[in-house]
Structure formats: structure tokens, C-alpha cells
Amino acid sequence: MKNIAVFASGNGSNFQAIIDAVSEQKLDATIKLLVCDKPGAYAVERAKAAGIDFFEFRAKDYADKQAYELEILAKLHEYNIDLVVLAGYMRLIGPNLLTDYEGRIVNIHPSLLPAFPGKDAMGQALAAKVEVSGVTVHYVDAGMDSGPIIAQETVEIAANETIETLQEKIHKVEHQLYPAVLQMLVSKFKEEVENV
């Protein structure tokens, strides 16, 4: 398992952490493609700077979710993608991708799932006044942040925490944890292929 496609919707800081891990030889994989549903997002600039091909689309330009997911699927096949890595991709994955890439789509989420799934997980954690949040890497299923958990790391929330300071702490953990987990998965998939 070597070829990765990263899906992102925004700034792409986790995408950058994965790019860096590959260039530092901490992740034995090739990022073949960025898929971005927000044309002009900064993640696309990161792809251009790293010489990574990208596919931009707007969901509203398609008849329905199936239509754009079938186009994404064709791109994934064209690039021989083995593993789909969601890094701030703000759309639920539909049945076409889930069926074709079952057990090979992973996501990172800024909370200790199952706590605070969905949007604004950090805001949810602050509103709930919890003392600990964190980061979860999990397999993707049809639900919202509900797939099997692969790895988690905790982040303590200070009494005077703001969304900005918590975001900084969470990102720091994400940028270490995600590439490490991806390397673990890549190694595992390689072993499985060799043992077939």
C-alpha cells in the first residue's frame, strides 16, 4: 500500500504534515492526489507547491452526491490509489466510495470520539466545559465520525482555554499522530499483501 489520496476542504495543515512526513521519510507512501471540494482552498496551493496533482470540484455543479463521487472514484482508480486520507474534508463519504474503498478510508477528528462528533468539535468541547479533549484517527463508515477507532491522543483543556489556544494544541497533536498512524497502516497493508 503506497499510493495515497488526501481529501481536504480548507487550509490543509494536516495535508502539509503528511507531505512533510513523506519528504522526511517518516511515511513510506506517495501522495498521488489531492481531492478538494472548495476550489481555491489553501490546501490546493499546498498541493501545487509540493508538485501533487489535484482535483477540485463544487458539489453544486453536479446533479447529486453520487455524480461527483463517481467522478472522484474514477480519479482514484486513474491514480491507482490504495488509501484515502480525509484531512479536514467536510463532507460525508457516500456509498460509492465506501463500497470501493471499504476499510481503506481514514479520517482525523479533533475530539476523543465518540464525544463531540461532527462540526465544531473544539467549540462543543469548550461549551461542555470538559477538562480533556483530544484527537481521534478512525476508519470511515456511513455515519458521522462513527467508524472504528484506530488511535487517540488526549489534549488537556486549561481553565482559561480559548478556541484559538485549543486549536493550536489540537493541531500540534494531529500533525504528529496522523502521519504516524498512516505509516502504521501502510506497514500493516504491506504485510497483508506479502502474506497473501
Q: Are 33 and 5 in contact (CB under 8 A)?
A: yes
10-residue mean pLDDT series, the chain (196 residues): 92 97 96 96 97 96 94 97 95 93 96 95 96 97 94 96 96 97 89 67
Q: Are 131 and 115 in contact (CB under 8 A)?
A: no
The catalytic position among 77, 109, 171, 175 is 109
Q: For 51, which DSSP code?
A: T
pLDDT tens across 75-106, in order?
999 999 999 999 999 999 999 999 999 999 99
Which domains are assigned to the chain?
A: 3-194 (3.40.50.170)
Question: How many beta carbons lie within 10 A of that of residue 73, not counting itself?
Answer: 18
d(CA 192, CA 196): 6
Task: Identify the H or E element spanning 22.
Answer: helix 13-23
Active site residue 109: yes
pLDDT tens across 21-42, in order?
999 999 999 999 999 999 999 9
* CA atoms lying within 13 Å on the CB side of residue 89: 29
Q: pTM of the prediction?
A: 0.94
